[in-house]
Amino acid sequence: MTGKARIVACFRWRGAVALADRSEEYARAAHAVFTRAEASGAKLVAWHAASFAVAFPSADLQRLVELITADDSPALGFSVGIAEGELGDIGGTDSRMSFAWGPPLVMAWALARVARSGEVLLDPQMEAVQTERLLVRGSRIGLLGGSSVRGVRLDPRHPWQPERGFPTVALVRSRYLGGDPVAPPPGTLGLVTGRRGSGGTRWLEELAARERERRTLWLRPRLGEALGSLRRALARAKEAQSELEPDLSACLDGVLAGEGLDLDTSGTLLSALLRREDSPGLILVDDADQVDADSLEAVVHAAKSGAFAVVARVVDGLAVPEALRHMTRAFEVELGPLTGEQVVDLVTELSSGRLRGIEAKRWAQRGAGLPLGVLAALSDALESGELALREEASVTRATKTGAFTPQQLLARRVRRWGSGVRGVLGALAVLGGDSDEEELAALLGMLKEPPPDQEMLHALEAADLVLRDGTRLTLPSATLGFVLADALAEAERARLHRAAAAVLAGADQPLCAVAAAAHSMLGGDIDRALPLARRGAGALRAGGLEDTAAAFEAFGESGDPSRVRERGLFSGAHADRAGLQRSDVPPPPSMMPAPISDRPSRAPAPSGEVAAARFVEALRHGDHAAMEVLASELRDDGAQGVVADRLEGMAALARGQVTDALRRLRQSKAGAHGLPPGDRSRAALALGVALASAGRGTEALLEGLEALARAREASDHRGEVACARFLAQLSEAAGAEEAAGIWRSLAG
């Protein structure tokens, strides 16, 4: 029998009600409860000499809870069971009653039989119990006819989870508990290992506090950005810039502006910033396994000067980054769970002394003895209502036992927060857990979502879920970042990465094209990732970051992101789909390498149209040799040198040799002066494409517009379409979607 979904409450009177001298008590109490239930929209669905049941519409749970928990409610004289599901009417239907039957009535009746007098047992499968909207205080199990029945006990004083939406905690920061941190000798490496949540970041913080007289740089992961970790660290050391020589000061300005820096110059810069006569400097690398390789290589190269020591934290079980393996290792500290006394002290301090002894030990066990686990366990319990810290004492509703990982406890908290908070923190996690407020707002704006207001940011900061340094926002731990990213549906995560790519592609900083390409890869947008990777490779080579440039060139040729991942640019992000289109099909053939096909002979020289067709075919298959042979044929012909220059320039661009491509294509455009407008259009368009790959958006736009004007002058419709498509791609990469749409419409 099926029917409408309803919430059923069964009220059972305890005692020998069959005796005439006691039956009136039941009748009066039942009448009082039913009258209030009827006024709240319920109908009577079952009646018995010692019990009755009412049903509320599924949306009226709040009315039922108010009926039961009101201060003057007669309902708590009964044993109450509540369940939800479909009920089918079987007769007696009118405005007041509708006798019915169904699984929720059976379950509610069974729970009422098991419940003690004044107790309300809820079916654990109720949605409000599963989502923790209703607060409970343990469970009760009883036997009926040889079968066990389990219900969870409603907390009648505090039945509802507070509708906060914001994460909230009432904990204080504890003193450091653990082994004494030490710094290694200058020029050497100290390694800190341990599982996530074991306090590695706090170990580094304590070391920095104890070595306060030393100039210190913190390196943290920066997703997608070559040299990004070092750039962010140097931005925090800008107050020391006045001590630098003018040439090094200019180099620092360049790095902060998003330019690259070769190893020798970066080594000189770091040594000059950190060296002091009275003490060597200190570089602390948190989550070193996620820091980009260029930043680590710069640190290792500079450390040879002996101007500073390096301490790096690596998660247990992950490989030490290759760059750090070349340093002399002074020591390795392995962090684990706190001792029994330490972890109890931690709970006591976090709760301002309100949890002690056995209670403190219980919460320590739930957090598996790990510092982050204990903090997450208490925060989760406070937000869920399992734990309440009052002025001088604590109230515990929880009956859960066992240990949980920090990830499990943080995931419980994330599920409880409002969609606005999850959206902001999820976007921050996709950006690598480190962003400017403006950058975060731009990302959310791409998705038509509002930026976080000050109320939200203050709440997140108070809950130790966001660290604020001016306008800079960072997540306090990589573990939280992973949990937030895991909580996103795969499609939503990809959408955020694509939006991040659009924001970064429009930035003025040269290396932002690298970060935009990485985000496009992680978002499965290969069509955008390939040109961004070629553009980024040019910027990397111009900045002296040759190995990372080669990794992006390899991706541009093959679509395989493995070398980009090896350069540490994915920072632990979900990268399973980085080399695939989101449609679950391989990239189109034009994006894939293919074997070199029959190569053209050297005679006779092809006509312009034939040459163009052959060049496009070679470009489509990634056949660089065929491109060069074709250009050589045209140059040998003696009459098509301008076309040869253009084809050689495009071949150099396809190989990622942006500087060489720009030289050849500028030469080609200059040689086209005085030629028909169609030739001048093609020369300008080719130069525009190369400028876009080099990250020079404004110059590329001017060349594209000139190419379009020359194509119109030549009445070259195909040329107009090609120029309009290029201008559309250029506008889209800069985040100007409206302009891109106009150009696409012109391209047909």
CA dihedral for 541, 543, 545, 548, sign (positive or negative): negative
Residue-level pLDDT at 640: 65
* Residues present in the chain in total: 748
* pLDDT given for residue 295 in this prediction: 94
pLDDT at 89: 83
| Backbone φ/ψ region at 634: left (φ over 0), alpha (ψ -120 to 50), beta | alpha
618 has pLDDT over 70: no
Please tell me the distance from the alpha carbon of residue 473 to that of residue 481, in angstroms, as a whole number: 13
- Report whether pLDDT(303) > 60: yes
Cα–Cα distance measured from residue 719 to residue 707, given in angstroms and rounded to the nearest whole number: 8
Q: Please state the rounded mean pLDDT for residues 487-510.
A: 84
CA 147 to chain centre: 46
Residue 121 pLDDT level (bands cut at 50, 70, 90): very high
Give yes or no for a contact between 46 and 104, defined as CB atoms under 8 angstroms apart: no
Write out pLDDT tens, residues 263-298: 888 888 998 888 877 789 999 999 999 999 999 999
C-alpha–C-alpha distance, residues 558 and 593, integer Å: 6
**Residue 582 pLDDT more than 50?**
no
Average pLDDT for residues 620-643, to the nearest whole number?
A: 56
Write out the two tokens for 458: 């203050």
SS3 for 369? coil
Q: What is the pLDDT of residue 589?
A: 31
Tokens linked to 651: 């071949």
First to last CA, the chain: 59
Using the Cα atoms of residue 590, residue 591, residue 596 and residue 600 in order, give the sign of their dihedral. positive
Tell me what pLDDT residue 110 has.
92
Six-digit token pair at 633?
A: 């044929």
Measured CA to CA, the distance from residue 656 to residue 652 in angstroms comes to 6
Whether the pTM exceeds 0.75: the reply is: no
Return d(Cα 643, Cα 658) in angstroms, integer.
18
- Classify residue 163 as exposed, middle or buried by CB count within 10 Å of its CB (0-12, 13-18, 19+): exposed
Backbone angles phi, psi at 47, to 5 degrees: -145, 140
Please, which pLDDT band fits residue 362 given cuts at 50, 70 and 90?
confident
